[in-house]
Amino acid sequence: MEFKYKAKKNLNEIVEGKIEGHSVEGVLEDLQSKGLVPISVEPLALAPLTQATNLASNAKLKSGKYGLKQLVLFTQKLYNLINSRVELLSALRLLEKNCDNRAEKVLLGDIIRDIKEGVPFSTCLSRYPKYFPHLYVNIIHTGESTGKLKDALMQLLDYLRRLQDLKLKVKQALAYPIFMSLVGVGTIFVMLTFVLPRLAAMFDDFKAELPLPTLILLKISSFLQSYWWAVAIFVTALIMILRMKRAGKESISSRLKYYLPLVKDIVYKQSVANFSRSLSLLLQSGVNLLSALVDAGPVIGNPVYITQLEAVRKDISEGVPFSDALAKFKIFPDFFVQMVRVGEEGGRLDSVLADIAESYEKEIEADLKTLSSLIEPAIILVLGLVIGAMVIAMLLPIFNMNSIVGG
């Protein structure tokens, strides 16, 4: 593998050239043995062996990926070590040594090997897009370029924690209603498959016509007893279809959130908040607006808005102000566009975007509380009506016992 080097030959002379070597460390030792003091060593190209090894490692890592929680943990650990003045390579070695996850251990091993061969940290991360989003890599690259990797990690950690906190609040708001729904469905299933059949045996002894609600309930019960497996297959297939992703598109269940009443407004605000926070972070890190939009665009989630943001980016490249381009495509509300215009004119677009994100996050919290307070009584009411109707249908023949026996 060939490296380009710059080194001091004596106090007043600096020499540059190319040298063969297996790694940066090996080249450094070679230069020192020749009486040179290395200033910089950069690989001219990756060795074929390294590329082949990377391909093999990538094959092992295909099935793995980082979720938001894992990415936060990785960033937190790395930041703590860097903040404690541990050198990057040593920090990564410590993380690898104390890692229990096999795929992550392979990942860290690959990154360590590449860094030893002179590959920049951000370039190493960019090879694993399932683990490190492009936005993450871009911030790390900026931190490396400016010599402020610790600050870049701190910014990322704050950003990721905010995303994690918002996601957690959404989950917590929906957890109780979902639990209640599952309990209700389970109760109905038990009543239809275990309780009702025992009452049905008693009704058969009366040789009389049963009320229509009771007959319908008995038919449903009989069907579930005989074809429960078909129902299970149907439900499983339906879940798989809803979660199935086509190339470049979201699953059906993911797209539903953009159309459901009440939910769609919260999803939209969450998308705007995430986009604003991401764009603000990139701009604060020194990334230009056009490049920042490329990284922040996918965060918004909705494919329609992502396509429109591409058109916004095209307009900006032709000299149209950001706020005017946004106003043209109506992706965001007027409040957002006006705030962006204020930020542009005042030269503080990054801080204004951070303020917008915080404002929307507070709105989302309030909306979640409202949604939760509406959904819970609605679910209780619906389940109460369904179970109550079933109980009445089962008790109707008993209430009419005398007339049935007499008939």
And the tokens for 80? 């703590």
Indicate the pLDDT class of residue 251, thresholds 50, 70 and 90. Answer: low
Residue 191: other Cβ atoms inside 10 A: 18
Q: Which range in 11-20, 169-178, 398-407 is most confidently predicted, on average pLDDT? A: 169-178
pLDDT(397) > 60: yes
Using CB atoms within 10 Å of the CB of residue 315, give its burial: 0 to 12 exposed, 13 to 18 middle, 19+ buried: middle
Alpha-carbon distances, residue 322 vs 42, 168, 331, 338, 356 (angstroms): 38, 32, 12, 11, 15
Strands 37-43 and 2-8: antiparallel
Question: What's CA 363's distance to the chain center, in Å?
Answer: 21
Indicate the pLDDT class of residue 55, thresholds 50, 70 and 90. Answer: very low
Indicate the pLDDT class of residue 344, thresholds 50, 70 and 90. Answer: confident
pTM of the predicted structure, to 2 decimals = 0.65
Output the pLDDT for position 137.
Answer: 86
pLDDT(254) > 80: no
The CA distance from 286 to 142, in Å, is 7
Output the pLDDT for position 24.
Answer: 60
Indicate the pLDDT class of residue 53, thresholds 50, 70 and 90. Answer: very low
Q: What is the pLDDT of residues 168-199, one digit of tens each?
A: 887 887 788 888 888 888 888 888 888 888 77
Q: What is the pLDDT of residues 81-95, one digit of tens each?
A: 888 888 888 888 888
